[in-house]
């Protein structure tokens, strides 16, 4: 599958005027985002996520390295016509109404009438923005409504590739869930989504692959399923005598009995058969053998801590 | 289409600025109240109104142009609205031109509004339409076109405060073209060199001030229409050069 985004050694440095030191916001970043995938781009505040996105959009320029977006070099106008961007905070011309803002952005994509009005209507409906809000100035919009119009403007050109920078930050739980659903739907339509977010449960739910960067450097890149796959198994069983729990504990390291059932939470795969044999040999019943998965948050924290949190 | 869309958005945004509307209202009020002093003869009153009207249009136009020119691009960057514009298929030159044209349309609307009120009051005062005053208003507009291009150029690399003083400073120096021109004949070589540099490098805003010629019949310009056309051409060419420089600077600017 072709790469929607291909980053080759992208580096961005700034000079700190006061300390005369060089700050590496992005450091020799190499990664590919495949067409049609929802890709999670993770990192702490200041890790270089937004800087990377801004370089890919041609808003700032790389110090070293190169990248292609939809097969074209950074800043290519042809590629930009198939790309959209939702910045971290959705900034708008406050005096414009929602409809006028959409009309303005549609004109920047050179979308003519009557298609322009059709697209505006569809996009505003797709993000569930109430119709009576369409003709109200944006300055009166809530945070959730702003994010909706932000996503709507990012969809106005029916893009092949979307860059979403913290699209759900600061939203209430309902708006958050609705916007997450919108992103999932966008992914289902076969569009490539480059999602930068601190909402790790959202990323885990929506992204097929993730990259974790720290201090501008790529630490981890892989399939979400593989990264969160644990190397431990949880076994629960019931029955047997009191000595069984102690025997299991001796093999698994930990086992506790509660309400007539016992649980060995972290069993290594090589010990699974031994424990199952122990349980069955004691005429007890195996209730479940469940692979223990790590959350993306655990993966993220482990990865960043290993690299040095500060 | 893109440039005009940006220009339209800029015009609408600027027309929502209260400070510009207040300036317009004050200027219009001053022009409208111009004929009030009852102790003046009709002839004197008319001369006062002509002077006052053109002066108010110039002063208000100056403030509106500088306030618009220094804001249109930095405000986009400060409010980060530029992200959603330049991430779209918009060339940077289209953005700069759109911002300039939007600012220019704003200045045009303001000067045209003041000009219409001025001509209306003058018609009421003198009992006849004064077409020669239109020339004064037109010259002020093209003077402001040049100043606006200068402010846009500075706004691509200077902060609004620095830009304010730079634009105002160069406008004042550029209005003293008669002085620098006379210094070109000075015996001192250093004075001649400095005067020459200032005279030719800084836009000649002084040539647009035809108020004296319009108000005092004894000041005569040989061919007024040619003089006006020459100055309009000068404003357009100089503005085009400034915009080209602004585009070159902004093309390399990170936002």
Would you tell me the crossing angle of helices A242-252 and A269-281 to the nearest 10 degrees?
Answer: 170
Q: How far is B142 from chain A (nearest CA, A)?
A: 29
Secondary structure (DSSP) of A118-178: HHHHHHHHHTT--GGGTTSBGGG--HHHHHHHHHHHHHTT--SEEEEESTTTT--HHHHHH
Which pLDDT tens digit goes with each residue over A125-175?
A: 988 888 889 999 999 999 889 988 999 999 999 999 999 999 888 788 888
CA separation for the pair A237, A290 (Å, rounded): 12
Q: Testing the interface with B: which of A14, A78, A93 to mutate, by most B Cβ within 10 A?
A: A93
pLDDT of residue A12: 97
SS3 B61: helix
Of A58, A61, A92, nearest to B81 by CB-CB distance is: A92
> Cα–chain-centroid distance for residue A72?
24
Which tokens hold the place of B35? Answer: 């004929």
Give the whole-number percent of chain B exceeding pLDDT 70. Answer: 96
What is the predicted pLDDT for the residue at B236? 97
Residue in chain A lying closest to B81 (CA): A91
Cβ pair A233, A276 in contact under 8 A: no
Q: Which two tokens stand for residue B135?
A: 């020339």
Q: Determine whether the interchain pair B2/A84 forms a contact, defined as Cβ–Cβ distance below 8 Å.
A: no
Q: Where are the domains of chain A?
A: 3-227, 231-292
Instruction: Please give the average per-residue pLDDT across B24-51, as a whole number.
Output: 82
User: What is this model's ipTM?
Assistant: 0.88
Write out the H or E segment, with its range, that includes residue A302. helix A296-307
What sign has the CA pseudo-torsion A295, A291, A274, A256?
A: positive
Q: What is the pLDDT of residue B135?
A: 92
pLDDT digits (tens, 9 = 90+) for A107-124: 999 999 999 999 999 999
Look at residue B250 in the predicted model and tell me its pLDDT. Answer: 97
What distance in Å separates the CA atoms of residue A60 and residue A69, rounded to the nearest whole number? 15
- Residues A53, A11: contact at Cβ < 8 Å? no
Which CATH number, 3.40.1410.10, 2.60.40.10, 3.40.50.300, 3.90.1150.110, labels domain A3-227? 3.40.50.300
- Tally of CB atoms within 10 A around A190: 10
B87-113 pLDDT tens trace: 999 999 999 999 999 999 999 999 999
Q: pLDDT > 90: what percent of chain A? A: 66
Q: Band of the pLDDT at A11, cuts 50, 70, 90?
A: very high
Write the DSSP symbol of residue A111: P
What is the pLDDT confidence band of residue A287, given thresholds at 50, 70 and 90? very high
User: How confident is the prediction for chain A on average, in pLDDT?
Assistant: 91
The label of the residue with tokens 């893009």 reads: A159
CA distances from A62 to A53, A54, A74, A193, B241 (A): 11, 10, 10, 22, 29
Q: What per-residue string of b and e applies to A91-121 under the rule 16 or more CB within 10 Å gives b?
A: bbbebbbbbbbbbbbbbbbebeeeebeebbe
Work out the pLDDT band at A310, boundaries 50, 70, 90: low
Nearest to B254 among A60, A85, A108 (CB): A60
CA distance B16 to chain A (A): 8
Select from A61, A93, A157 the Cβ nearest to the Cβ of B81. A93
Contact yes or no for A180/A202 (Cβ under 8 A) = yes
Query: Lowest mean pLDDT: which of A81-85, A234-238, B180-184?
Result: B180-184
Q: Give the distance from residue A113's alpha carbon to the nearest chain B alpha carbon, in angstroms.
A: 13
B204-235 tens-digit pLDDT: 998 898 877 777 767 677 788 899 999 999 99
Instruction: Determine contact, residues A165/A87, Cβ cutoff 8 Å.
Output: yes
Any idea which of A72-81, A254-263, B162-171, B177-186 has the lowest mean pLDDT? B177-186
Mutate to test the interface with B, among A52, A75, A79, A108 (most CBs of B within 10 A): A108
What is each CA distance from A122 to A61, A157, A168, B131, in whole angstroms? 34, 11, 21, 53
Topology given in CATH for the domain delimited by A231-292: Alpha-Beta Plaits (3.30.70)
Higher pLDDT, A111 or A88: A111
Degrees, nearest 5: CA angle B214-B218-B224: 45
Instruction: Using the predicted structure, report yes or no on whether residue B140 has a pLDDT greater than 80.
Output: yes
Collect all residues of chain B within an 8 Å Cβ-Cβ radius of residue A54. 83
Domains of chain B by residue range: 2-251
pLDDT band at A309 (very low <50, low <70, confident <90, very high): low
Contact residues, chain A to chain B, C-beta under 8 Å: 54, 57-61, 77-78, 80-81, 83-85, 87, 89-93, 95-96, 104-105, 107-110, 153, 157, 163
| Distance from chain centroid for Cα A199 | 7
């Amino acid at each position: 599958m072709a790469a929607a985004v291909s980053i080759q050694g992208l580096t961005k440095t700034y000079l700190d005027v006061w300390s005369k030191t060089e700050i590496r916001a992005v450091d020799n970043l190499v990664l590919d985002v495949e067409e049609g995938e929802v890709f999670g781009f993770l990192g702490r505040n200041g890790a270089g996520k937004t800087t990377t996105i801004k370089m890919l959009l041609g808003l700032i320029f790389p110090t070293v390295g190169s990248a292609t977006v939809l097969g074209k070099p950074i800043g290519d106008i042809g590629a930009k016509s198939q790309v959209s961007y939702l910045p971290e905070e959705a900034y708008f011309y406050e005096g414009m109404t929602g409809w006028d803002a959409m009309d303005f952005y549609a004109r920047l994509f050179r979308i003519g009438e009557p298609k322009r009005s059709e697209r505006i209507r569809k996009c505003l409906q797709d993000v569930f923005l109430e119709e009576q809000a369409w003709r109200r100035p944006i300055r009166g919009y809530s945070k959730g409504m702003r994010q909706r119009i932000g996503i709507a403007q990012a969809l106005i050109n029916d893009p092949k590739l979307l860059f979403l920078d913290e699209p759900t930050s600061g939203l209430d739980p309902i708006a958050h869930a609705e916007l997450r659903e919108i992103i999932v739907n966008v992914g289902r339509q076969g569009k490539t989504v480059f999602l930068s977010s601190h909402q790790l449960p959202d990323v885990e739910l929506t992204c097929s692959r993730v990259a974790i960067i720290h201090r501008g450097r790529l630490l981890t890149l892989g399939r979400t399923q593989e990264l969160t796959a644990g190397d431990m198994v949880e076994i629960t069983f019931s029955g047997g005598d009191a000595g069984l729990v102690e025997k299991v504990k001796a093999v698994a390291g930990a086992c506790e009995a509660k309400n007539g059932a016992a649980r060995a939470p972290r069993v290594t795969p090589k010990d699974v058969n031994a424990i199952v044999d122990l349980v069955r040999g004691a005429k007890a019943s195996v209730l479940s053998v469940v692979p223990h998965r790590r959350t993306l948050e655990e993966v993220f924290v482990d990865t960043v801590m290993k690299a040095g949190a500060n | 289409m893109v440039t005009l869309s940006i220009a339209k958005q800029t015009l609408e945004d600027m027309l929502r600025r209260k400070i510009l509307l207040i300036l317009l209202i004050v200027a219009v009020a001053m022009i409208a109240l111009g004929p009030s002093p009852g102790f003046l003869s009709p002839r004197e009153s008319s001369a006062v109104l002509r002077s006052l009207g053109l002066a108010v249009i110039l002063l208000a136009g100056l403030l509106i142009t500088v306030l618009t020119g220094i804001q249109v691009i930095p405000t986009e960057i400060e409010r980060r609205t530029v992200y959603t514009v330049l991430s779209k298929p918009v060339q940077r030159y289209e953005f700069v031109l759109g911002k300039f044209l939007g600012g220019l349309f704003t200045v045009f609307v303001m000067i045209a509004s003041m000009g219409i009120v001025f001509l209306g009051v003058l018609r009421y005062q003198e009992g006849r339409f004064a077409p020669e005053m239109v020339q004064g208003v037109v010259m002020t507009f093209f003077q402001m076109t040049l100043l606006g291009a200068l402010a846009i150029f500075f706004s691509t690399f200077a902060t609004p405060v620095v830009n304010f003083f730079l634009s105002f400073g160069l406008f004042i120096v550029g209005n003293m073209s008669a002085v620098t021109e006379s210094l070109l004949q000075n015996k001192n070589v250093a004075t001649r060199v400095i005067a020459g540099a200032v005279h030719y490098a800084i836009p000649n805003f002084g040539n647009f001030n035809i108020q004296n010629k319009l108000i005092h019949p004894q000041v005569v310009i040989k061919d007024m229409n040619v003089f006006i056309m020459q100055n309009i051409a000068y404003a357009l060419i100089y503005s085009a050069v400034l915009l080209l420089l602004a585009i070159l600077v902004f093309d390399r600017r990170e936002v």
